[in-house]
Structure 1
Amino acid sequence: MNHALILEDQPEARTWMAEKLLQAYPTIEVKQACSLDQAFKHCKKITFDLALIDINLPDGTGNELILNLSQTSPQTISIVVTIYDDEHHIFPALQAGAKGYLLKDMPAEKFIERLQGITSGEPALSSEITLKLVRYFSTINPEPGPLLTAREKEVLTLIAKGYTQPEVSQLLDLSPHTINGYIKTIYRKLSINSRAEATLEAARLGLVRP
């Protein structure tokens, strides 16, 4: 992680996020913006690895920046940081391209832990958000999807439950290389590219329950 952007209109919250971001990645360069206009200006000059984005802003919604980054800078990992934990805010943000969703009232150490997990492919999701997503998708009848083998379903289930690749390798007594191969195949079959999406697909397919 080399460059990060924080889009937040409240100075105290912006300072808090910057502090936690630097604790997670001490060498990262952080740019701060208090409005969409300012954030877009930063994005024209710098390619960001990570963006922490509030939703409700004086001049619009953070989803506008998330959508723009997903189209113009797909390598940027957009993470929502907000007080809102309802479906009316969660799903539009994820649909716009957010790769994570963190709540502002989560403990500082958990916030830092979620940020650090990004580099190893962990979804940056507050536990409350993960539970809401799983509950939501578990109420929907599973739809037919690409045929996964029994082993692929096993790997997907463990990934959706939050296990890391080394842990999955140990639990299934398979080499890390083999597990990595399974994950690539699963992602290809399901047309996904993140652990957050894997969690949603596992719930949709009825592999995990609240």
Structure 2
Amino acid sequence: MIRTVVADDQPVVRHGFAAILDSAPDIEIVGSAGDGRELVTLVRETAPDVAVVDVRMPVLDGIAATARITAEHPSTRVLVLTTFDLDEYVYDALQAGASGFLLKDVPADRLVEGVRAVADGSMLLGPNVTRRLVSDVAARTPAPEPVPGLDTLTPREHEVLLAVARGLSNAEIAAELWVTEQTVKTHVAAVLRKLARRDRVQLVIAAYESGLV
């Protein structure tokens, strides 16, 4: 079961998301919160696998809450949901440690799939969001920054990192490199470990900040 918490300052929205997710056979809602501070406390008490977090919340906003959660509870992955498809929210949320970003108007099945993907360590960004993130990272990083561990990657791991940075899935990488998906998963796990990154989103950011892409 994917233990999940939901945070949104609007009760109807919060309960609606919780009901949708709780109806999935492999997702269990273990709590909900109406503001960022309440969310941080809830995560501390329940140690969920995934936190579904709204950006705009009182007391402590979703991005600040995400930063605290990912720093204090590395095993909890954050899926950010917002009504506002703005560049600043995307960049700041991912820099804070979020593993995915979706708009609130996504279909119910997409929300469920999103929680599953984030729990599995996959990257969850729409193509438009990925392109804007890449542009934003490039603009904010005029000179490449060294990424510790990059020089320890094997040639194949470099290829996999480049493919992840392009937004390819494990299946797409496997087809491109003529290897099995399990082999790709093994390489991705090795890259995550060597670069000390928590998930694929952070690998994308590392690839661009280092100038590798």
On the 8 A contact 1:18/1:30 being kept in 2, the answer is no
Describe the SS at the equivalent of 2:102.
strand
> Which residue is equivalent to 1:199?
204
Distance 1:43 1:151 in 2: 37
Q: How many angstroms does 1:117 deviate by?
A: 1.7
Distance 1:78 1:53 in 2: 7
Distance 1:141 1:149 in 2: 27
| Paired residue type of 1:201 | A
Task: Decide whether aligned partners of structure 1 residues 105 and 142 sit closer, same or farther in structure 2, where only a CA change above 3 A counts.
Answer: farther
Structure 1 residues 87-118: Cα deviation after superposition (integer angstroms, max 9, x where no partner): 33233322332222221133434333322222
Distance 1:193 1:42 in 2: 21
- Give the TM-score normalised by the residue count of structure 1: 0.79
Distance 1:156 1:25 in 2: 33
Q: How many angstroms does 1:141 deviate by?
A: 4.9
| Paired residue type of 2:207 | A
> Which residue is equivalent to 1:32?
32
Describe the SS at the equivalent of 1:29.
strand
> Which residue is equivalent to 1:60?
60
Gaps of at least 5 residues in structure 1 are none
Distance 2:138 2:40 in 1: 37
Bigger drift between 87-96 and 143-152 goes to: 143-152
Of 180, 183, 186, 2:188 maps to 183
Describe the SS at the equivalent of 1:56.
coil
Query: How many corresponding residue pairs?
Result: 208
Describe the SS at the equivalent of 1:28.
strand
Describe the SS at the equivalent of 1:48.
coil
Task: Decide whether aligned partners of structure 1 residues 189 and 179 sit closer, same or farther in structure 2, where only a CA change above 3 A counts.
Answer: same
1:154 aligns with 2:150: no
